[in-house]
Copies of this chain bind each other. A is one copy, B any other.
Amino acid sequence: MTSFGESHGPVIGVVIDGVPAGWSLDLDLVQAQLDRRRPGQSAFTTARNEEDRVQCWSGCLDGICTGAPLTLTIRNKDARSEDYQELSQTLRPSHADFTTMARYGVRDPRGGGRSSARETAARVMAGAVAVQILAKAGIHCYAWVHSVGQVSMDAEAYALQDSIPYTQEQIESSPLRCPLPDIASAMENEINTARVRGDSVGGTVVGWCQGLPAGLGDPVYDKLDADLAKAMISINAAKFFELGSGWAASSGHASHYNDPILAADTSEWTHIKTATNHAGGVLGGMSTGTPLWFRVGFKPPSTISIDQNSVDHRGQPLVLKARGRHDPCVVPRAVPVVEAMLALVVLDHWLGFPSAKIQRLLP
């Protein structure tokens, strides 16, 4: 996939190469994922209102993919760039403003330009195509909000599940995209408390992949978990990645965090089961056949309405107080982005998995 477009340019788009020819693309499903990422869904997200209608420019004829590169775009309509006018003379703390200047010498001040989280719409479109292909292969990708500020679900519990513990309906039942209603309510409070103060709050998202066969991934450099780490940290505001119970395991003992292997039929190696899944579904860079799960941590959105010390373009000190639209918490909208990146990484490895063709060559 190759994405293009800036926050306030004419379009955000993505070119996807390698979509199977003959595939019947469901653009409604792409639209549905875009709608989940879209701003303006609830009081907990930015009020910017974009229709975000997906358009197909190439690679699909009468609903059937032709094998040629598939190009999907959305238009940018609600570009109130005057909001950003005064910001063009200002460096915002913890934004990419001055690193962009250091890298490029110029920057597009309208909403962060290329560094805007609006670029993730391109990923969601590509991911929605990957999700469709994986679903046909029985592989399903999920994500939900695990924590907001100090309010958190129980991470250890995931290591005890041998299949996805929540339905998509449970996940979507609250605007927080947290499947447990009580926790979701507490998260809402956490966000409201931050918003009232003009502040913002961080959070974490769980990614989960169900139905993955054992053996996906390479043992040294293109490890499945390493590729996931890169994909997740490439999401705007993502600051940590943890596979399975990795965080807890790094301060614990093998006698607790090793996953005992259960008796099994080994005529095929995909049937091995373990009593627990602290590993998060990957060992030695390759999938185990148990659920893949991981957490991604997002920092609190950097744009807040509290006074901050900063400088202008000439380096002169100023006090900054944001007035534009901004999210007090990014994690509910990050859920479809995590899902999309998960699907793209898994599909990439799945397509490269040794095919029946090669195995036929072996004695």
CB–CB A316/B263 < 8 A = yes
Q: How far is the CB of A205 from chain B (nearest CB, A)?
A: 10
Please, which residues of chain B bring their CB within 8 A of the CB of A246? Answer: 239-240, 297, 299
State the oligomeric state as a number of copies: 4
CB–CB B274/A93 < 8 A = yes
CB–CB B254/A200 < 8 A = yes
CB–CB A10/B57 < 8 A = yes
CB–CB A239/B233 < 8 A = no
CB–CB B311/A264 < 8 A = yes
Is A192 among interface residues, defined by CB-CB distance under 8 A? Answer: no
User: Among the listed B61, B219, B234, B297, which residue makes an inter-chain contact with A249, where contact means beta carbons less than 8 Å apart?
Assistant: B297
**What 0/1 pattern do residues 194 to 238 of A give for CB contact below 8 A with B?**
100101111110000000011111011101011111111110100
A67–B255 Cα distance when bound, in Å, is 31
User: Among the listed B58, B102, B251, B254, which residue makes an inter-chain contact with A269, where contact means beta carbons less than 8 Å apart?
Assistant: B102
Please, which residues of chain B bring their CB within 8 A of the CB of A149? Answer: 251-253
Query: Nearest B residue to A96 by beta-carbon distance?
Result: B284
CB–CB B223/A286 < 8 A = no
CB–CB B243/A233 < 8 A = yes
Contacts A4-B57, A98-B269, A114-B219 given; 20 further ones with Cβ under 8 A?
A2-B17, A2-B69, A5-B57, A13-B58, A68-B114, A93-B260, A94-B258, A94-B283, A96-B286, A99-B214, A99-B286, A103-B215, A149-B253, A194-B253, A229-B241, A233-B241, A239-B243, A239-B244, A242-B297, A260-B308
A107–B61 Cα distance when bound, in Å, is 9
CB–CB A57/B229 < 8 A = no
CB–CB B250/A147 < 8 A = yes
Is A181 among interface residues, defined by CB-CB distance under 8 A? Answer: no
Interface residues on A, range: 35 or more
CB–CB A252/B202 < 8 A = yes
Q: How far is the CB of A197 from chain B (nearest CB, A)?
A: 8
Query: Nearest B residue to A350 by beta-carbon distance?
Result: B357
CB–CB A223/B233 < 8 A = yes
CB–CB A259/B4 < 8 A = no
Q: Which of A15, A316, A317 counts the most chain B CB atoms within 10 A?
A: A15
Is A302 among interface residues, defined by CB-CB distance under 8 A? Answer: yes
CB–CB A213/B5 < 8 A = no
Is A22 among interface residues, defined by CB-CB distance under 8 A? Answer: yes
User: Among the listed B23, B280, B300, which residue makes an inter-chain contact with A362, where contact means beta carbons less than 8 Å apart?
Assistant: B23
Is A128 among interface residues, defined by CB-CB distance under 8 A? Answer: no
A171–B354 Cα distance when bound, in Å, is 36
The verdict on A284 contacting B66 (CB below 8 Å), with A20-B354, A310-B261 known, is: no
